[in-house]
Each structure stands twice: as structure tokens, then as C-alpha cells.
């Protein structure tokens, strides 16, 4: 047994190091941990993939689908539109935005809630001439606080509810988390609105007019003369001819009065064609010298006046959108060339910004990171779907969808029915929420393909892999060993200090590893501590849930923190300035509330 514990602790140590290192995605690290425990016999072969059928995993998947369906139905858009009318006072903007995103995060995925309200925050900041940095970090922290309100607000709550069921006391219900979660959310939002936002760095705006990207000066018309050796060759060959010198993007082609938006790279050029290209001044100069193309003359300009307009401005066929690369995006680690974005997704990437600054290196050489901001160009009707398929979240608000009352009522009704079934214990939570998700698809609120895309597979794989590993921590006696070490302090510390110690430890862990993984690893330890103190496990499980959900110190502790890093222009060390006092405040408020609602005596 001691050998098994040593081996398991070694695997867990390497796993935590892998999470903190960040070079491998967290789901890959979790799978490696599962394989290691399986191959060494710490997890029985028949139990290795049991996590895939665990109710917590199914519930998380259902919540992600429901979140997407509610967004599609326009339920949250109603709130978002009204937020644009709150005025220009910064404190009012902060408390309104943070409060609304916290409330929304209690019922839909908190990353999804943040993604919806980020465009509103950016629009507010730009409209008032301020940097988005004063709003985005409060928004991210508000989404984390709001996740503590209900069972479905965040994956750690779902995991903790399942662990409570293993103790024989039954799983936590839908609103069992509400008393403690509401207390820390109200206090946290008040702190952020009154003091916290003043601790965020006030980054300068990226451009004089508040826009991160400006492309007007980079769109140029070029003419293909008969003498050009590229007449009769493809657009691809044209672009490749200057690939070593510059980045050039062909955004439109005018031929015999017919305008072709975003021509295929296999389109063969003909003499007299006019190309609308996107390039900086150096790239344009290289293109003219190498290819023999000419700047379109006055006659050409007259015949192609429409093509010189900004894409999407008049015809509405092409449009521009700023989008942020989500942590689970298929762009992460890849380049635009490797993914063949034009042909496969119908989009051009015109610019990339990282940590609030536009990258000057060639677009074809850029490998994307989570949080990068992209300036995308695509057809108006297909660009939103392309962003969804790529795993990008729209950032700059260019107007909200017109909500249809029938869809809003239908989506809200289905979701409310699922919550009622869970709240009154009429159905198990996984069954009720899966049923609600299926109803959303049948009702036409979410296409079936979008339902599958809504599932964050890295999170699902992480949970499915780490649950057996967490079980091994318990079966090998590892959790009991850690608990015994902590129980040595129980002779000197009162019970509320033990609770606070556990919460702080989990909070620190969740700032370097995924919060779901932190909950999986810490829950068995919390149960063992409770047993060693002859106390109810409920307060300790609640402490783990709060600690795992409140990662305010680093940008890597939660996807919400990662998403606001680039558009806010934040650096790694900026988070603790507001995050540290907020974390202390959460502990101070949560511990007495837990002991009041969930006493040690059970």
C-alpha cells in the first residue's frame, strides 16, 4: 500500500507540474495521468474509462448544450441590449455588468456568459473613451463568483455534488449552493464595484478612435495587365510568389463588371482583372515589383467604384469581426496557412493582436495562442458559423440579434422546466438536463450539429480522465494520508480554521490547475478530514467547491481569466492586485456562512 501511495503521489506530482507548465493542453495531461495510473495498476482496467459515464460528466455536457441553446434563443441578448443604456459612470458600468454576468453564470456556463457580455463591455469602454481593461477583469471575476450560486453554475459544484452522493447523504440539490454562493457573490460584486476596478491596470487604447484594428489604409486595388506573367495563373501562385517577402490577402476580384467576393485561391487570373488586396505598404511594394501588377488607374477605378468600398459596408456580403481565440479553439498552436482558413472556412485573417498590441510579424508565420484577438473577414451570413467552428468568440459588438419573443419564451420555458424537475427531486439532475437539452434541439432552438459543437470536449475529457485518478487517491489511502497530516493541526486549530485552511489550499491549487481537476483531487481529502474530526463532510465539501471556483490570482486558473487577458491588455502579474483582496474576502465571508448553513455536527 505504501508503494502504491508513493507511486500515485509521483504521478500526481507530475500531473500538477504538467498542468502548471501549460505546454500540453490540460485534457492531454489528464489522459496521461489516467494512462499512468492504469498501466501501473492503480486504477483497475475495467474502471479506467468509467468516468465517461459518470453523472457529473454527463451533466456538464448537458449544461454546455443548454447554455448554447439559451444564447441562440436570445434569452441573454435581452439583458445585453439593456446594458448599453446604463450610462457613462465607470462604477455604475462595473456594478451593472459584473452583477448581470454573475447572475447569468449561475444558470449557464460561466465562460459562455462572459463571452456574451464581453462585446458589451468593450463597446461601453470604447463609447466612453476608456480602455476596456477597467471592465474586463471585473467581468471575468464576476463570472467566477456567479458560478457558485447553483449546482449547474460551474463544474466543481457538479463534481462536489457527486462526491456527496458517495458519502451516502445524497447529492447536493440545485440550490443547496445558493446561501453561501449568494453571500460571496453579493460581497464580491460590491467590492469589485466600489474598490476592485480601481486596482486594475488602466491600459492605453490601441488606437485613437478606440478600435484595436484599422484596415482602411491597407486595402488597395491592383490591375492585371496583359504583360503580367501572372495572367493565366492562379491566385494561389500570385500569393506564393511574394510569400517570402510579404503577407498579401486577395479579398475581392472584379472581372467584366462582375464582382467576386473572396475568390478561391485556385481562381485563374485573366488580363484586365482588378484585385482588391490587403497588404501593408512594404508588402504592396514587393507585390508590385515581383508580379508586375499595376495600381488600378482612374478608368479602372471608375469601373470598379463599388469594389473600393470597405467590405461589407454597402452590399453586406462581406463583413468584419473582431474575435478572440478561446482556450479550446482548433486555432491554438496552428497557423492560418496550416489550417487553410480561406478554403476550409471561408474567412480571411487580416490582423492579429496579442496582449492589447497588434502583432507586426507576418500573418502566415503566426501560431495562435488562447486569448489572441483576430480581425476576421468573411461573408456576413457564414462568418458567425465559421467563428463557432474555429472556436473563436466574437469580441467587438456590431449590433445584437433581434430577439424573437416566441423563441425567448420557448427556450426559457424548457430550461425552467429542467430546473424545476431537479429542484423538486422529480428527476436526477443528469436526466433532467439531458432531457432539456434534447428538447431544445427538437424545438429548433439549437441545430444538432451546434449541440455537439457546444460541448467543450477538453473539459469533458479532463473530467472523465481525472475522476478515476481521484478515485485512486482514495482507494490507495493517499487522501487519508494527506488528511492525517492536516488533522495533526486540528489539535491546535479550531474547526473554522481547518475549514479556512482547506479552502485556501484548494483556492491556491485552482490558480495553477483546472478548477474541475482541483475539485476532483481535493474532494476525497475533504471527506477524509471530516471523518477524522467526526464531523459532517458537508462543510468541507462546500469549502472545496468555493475554493475550486474562486481562482482570481492568475490568468491560467480559469478560462474566463484567460479570455480577458488579451483584450484587456493584462499581464500575468496584474491579476493578483484585485484578485488577492477578493480571495481573502471570499474566505472571510464563506467560512462563517458555511458553518451557519452546514454545521460541523451535521
Q: Where does 262-371 show beta strands of DSSP type E?
A: 274-278, 294-295, 318-325, 347-354, 357-358
233, burial (CB in 10 Å: exposed 0-12, middle 13-18, buried 19+): middle
Least confident of 141-155, 182-196, 331-345: 331-345
Buried b / exposed e along 379-405 (16+ C-beta atoms within 10 A): beeebebbbbbbbbbbbbbeebeebee
Q: Which residue has the higher pLDDT, 429 or 73?
A: 429
| pLDDT attached to residue 206 | 43
Q: What is the dihedral sign for C-alpha 572, 574, 577, 583? A: negative
**pLDDT category, 499, cuts 50, 70, 90?**
very high
pLDDT over 50 (residue 208): no
Long-range contacts of 238-246 (CB under 8 A, 24+ apart): 238/269, 238/291, 239/265, 241/290, 241/291, 242/283, 242/286, 242/287, 242/290, 242/291, 243/364, 245/283, 245/286, 245/290, 246/279, 246/280, 246/282, 246/283, 246/284, 246/286, 246/287, 246/362
With CA atoms as reference, report the closest residue to 345 among 387, 392, 393: 387
**pLDDT category, 408, cuts 50, 70, 90?**
confident
| pLDDT attached to residue 23 | 78
Mean pLDDT of 181-199: 94
Q: What is the per-residue pLDDT across 91-107, written as a single tens digit (0 to 9) for each?
A: 888 999 999 999 989 98
Q: Which residue has the higher pLDDT, 318 or 123?
A: 123
C-alpha cell at position 59: 451533466
444, burial (CB in 10 Å: exposed 0-12, middle 13-18, buried 19+): exposed
pLDDT over 90 (residue 222): no
Tell me what the pLDDT averaged over the chain comes to. Answer: 83
Least confident of 21-25, 491-495, 558-562: 21-25
330, burial (CB in 10 Å: exposed 0-12, middle 13-18, buried 19+): middle
| pLDDT attached to residue 95 | 92
Q: Which residue matches cell numbers 465562460?
A: 111
β-pairing verdict for 258-261 and 219-223 = unpaired
Query: Which residues are bridge partners to 126 per DSSP?
Result: none
Domains of the chain and any CATH numbers: 2-205+428-597 (no CATH), 216-308 (3.30.70.1450), 318-394 (3.30.70.1450)
Rounded to two decimals, what is the model's pTM?
Answer: 0.74
| 3-state SS class at 72 | helix
Q: Which residue has the higher pLDDT, 322 or 505?
A: 505
Q: Which residue has the higher pLDDT, 3 or 460?
A: 460
H/E stretch holding 393: strand 392-394
Q: What is the per-residue pLDDT across 514-554, written as a single tens digit (0 to 9) for each?
A: 888 899 999 999 999 999 899 999 999 999 999 999 999 98
- How many angstroms separate the CA atoms of 574 and 576, rounded? 6
Break the chain down into helix, strand, coil percent, rounded to 5: 60, 10, 30
Q: Which residue has the higher pLDDT, 371 or 60?
A: 60
**pLDDT category, 11, cuts 50, 70, 90?**
very high
| pLDDT attached to residue 239 | 82
Residues 6+ apart with CB under 8 A from 198: none
> From the CB of residue 23, how many other CB atoms can be counted at a distance below 10 Å?
8
| pLDDT attached to residue 369 | 82
Q: What angle do CA 180, 454, 211 make, to 5 degrees?
A: 85
Q: Which residue has the higher pLDDT, 467 or 113?
A: 467
With CA atoms as reference, report the closest residue to 562 among 323, 331, 390, 326: 326
Residues 6+ apart with CB under 8 A from 572: 554, 555
- How many angstroms separate the CA atoms of 560 and 273, rounded? 47
Q: Which residue has the higher pLDDT, 491 or 165?
A: 165
| pLDDT attached to residue 421 | 92
| pLDDT attached to residue 312 | 38
pLDDT over 60 (residue 112): yes
Q: What is the per-residue pLDDT across 52-94, written as a single tens digit (0 to 9) for each?
A: 888 889 998 998 899 888 877 776 666 666 676 777 788 888 9
| pLDDT attached to residue 211 | 55
Amino acid at each position: 500500500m505504501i508503494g502504491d501511495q508513493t507511486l500515485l503521489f509521483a504521478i500526481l506530482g507530475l500531473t500538477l507540474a504538467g498542468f502548471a507548465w501549460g505546454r500540453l493542453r490540460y485534457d492531454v495531461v489528464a489522459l496521461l495521468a489516467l494512462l499512468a495510473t492504469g498501466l501501473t495498476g492503480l486504477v483497475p482496467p475495467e474502471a479506467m474509462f468509467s468516468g465517461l459515464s459518470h453523472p457529473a460528466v454527463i451533466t456538464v455536457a448537458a449544461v454546455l448544450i443548454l447554455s448554447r441553446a439559451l444564447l441562440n434563443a436570445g434569452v441573454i441578448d435581452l439583458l445585453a441590449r439593456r446594458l448599453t443604456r446604463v450610462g457613462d459612470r465607470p462604477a455604475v458600468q462595473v456594478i451593472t455588468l459584473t452583477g448581470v454576468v454573475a447572475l447569468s453564470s449561475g444558470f449557464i456556463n460561466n465562460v459562455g456568459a462572459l463571452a456574451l457580455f464581453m462585446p458589451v463591455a468593450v463597446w461601453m469602454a470604447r463609447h466612453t473613451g476608456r480602455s476596456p481593461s477597467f471592465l474586463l477583469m471585473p467581468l471575468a471575476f464576476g463570472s467566477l463568483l456567479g458560478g457558485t450560486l447553483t449546482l449547474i453554475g460551474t463544474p466543481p459544484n457538479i463534481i462536489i455534488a457527486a462526491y456527496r452522493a458517495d458519502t451516502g447523504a445524497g447529492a447536493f440539490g440545485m440550490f443547496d449552493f445558493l446561501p453561501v454562493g449568494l453571500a460571496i457573490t453579493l460581497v464580491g460584486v460590491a467590492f469589485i464595484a466600489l474598490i476592485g476596478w480601481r486596482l486594475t491596470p488602466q491600459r492605453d487604447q490601441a488606437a485613437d478612435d478606440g478600435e484595436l484594428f484599422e484596415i482602411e489604409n491597407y486595402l488597395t486595388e491592383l490591375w492585371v495587365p496583359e504583360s503580367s506573367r501572372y495572367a493565366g495563373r492562379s491566385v494561389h501562385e500570385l500569393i506564393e510568389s511574394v510569400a517570402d517577402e510579404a503577407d498579401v490577402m486577395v479579398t475581392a476580384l472584379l472581372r467584366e463588371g462582375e464582382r467576386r467576393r473572396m475568390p478561391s485561391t485556385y481562381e485563374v487570373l485573366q488580363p484586365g482583372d482588378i484585385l482588391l488586396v490587403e497588404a501593408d505598404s512594404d508588402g504592396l511594394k514587393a507585390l508590385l515589383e515581383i508580379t508586375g501588377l499595376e495600381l488600378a488607374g482612374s478608368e479602372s477605378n471608375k469601373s470598379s467604384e463599388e469594389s473600393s468600398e470597405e467590405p461589407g459596408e454597402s452590399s453586406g456580403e462581406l463583413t468584419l469581426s473582431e474575435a478572440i481565440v478561446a482556450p479550446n479553439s482548433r486555432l491554438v498552436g496552428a497557423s492560418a496557412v496550416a489550417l487553410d482558413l480561406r478554403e476550409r472556412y471561408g474567412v480571411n485573417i487580416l490582423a492579429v493582436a496579442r496582449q492589447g498590441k497588434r502583432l507586426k510579424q507576418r500573418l502566415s508565420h503566426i501560431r495562435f495562442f488562447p486569448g489572441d484577438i483576430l480581425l476576421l473577414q468573411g461573408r456576413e451570413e457564414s462568418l458567425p458559423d465559421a467563428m463557432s467552428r474555429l472556436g473563436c468568440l466574437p469580441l467587438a459588438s456590431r449590433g445584437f440579434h433581434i430577439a424573437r419573443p416566441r423563441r425567448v419564451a420557448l427556450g426559457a420555458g424548457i430550461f425552467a422546466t429542467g430546473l424545476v424537475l431537479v429542484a423538486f427531486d422529480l428527476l436526477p439532475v443528469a436526466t433532467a438536463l439531458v432531457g432539456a437539452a434534447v428538447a431544445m434541439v427538437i424545438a429548433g432552438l439549437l441545430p444538432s450539429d451546434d449541440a455537439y459543437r457546444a460541448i467543450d470536449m477538453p473539459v469533458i475529457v479532463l473530467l472523465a480522465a481525472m475522476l478515476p485518478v481521484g478515485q485512486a487517491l482514495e482507494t490507495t489511502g493517499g487522501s487519508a494520508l494527506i488528511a492525517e497530516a492536516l488533522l495533526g493541526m486540528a489539535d491546535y486549530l479550531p474547526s473554522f480554521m481547518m475549514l479556512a485552511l482547506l479552502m485556501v489550499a484548494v483556492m491556491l491549487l485552482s490558480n495553477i490547475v483546472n478548477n474541475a481537476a482541483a475539485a476532483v483531487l481535493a474532494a476525497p481529502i475533504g471527506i477524509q478530514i471530516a471523518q477524522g474530526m467526526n464531523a459532517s463532510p458537508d462543510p468541507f465539501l462546500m469549502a472545496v467547491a468555493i475554493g475550486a471556483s474562486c481562482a482570481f490570482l492568475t490568468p491560467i486558473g480559469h478560462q474566463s481569466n484567460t479570455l480577458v487577458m488579451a483584450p484587456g491588455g493584462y499581464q500575468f502579474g496584474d491579476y493578483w492586485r484585485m484578485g488577492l483582496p477578493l480571495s481573502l474576502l471570499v474566505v472571510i465571508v464563506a467560512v462563517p456562512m458555511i458553518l451557519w448553513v452546514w454545521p460541523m455536527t451535521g
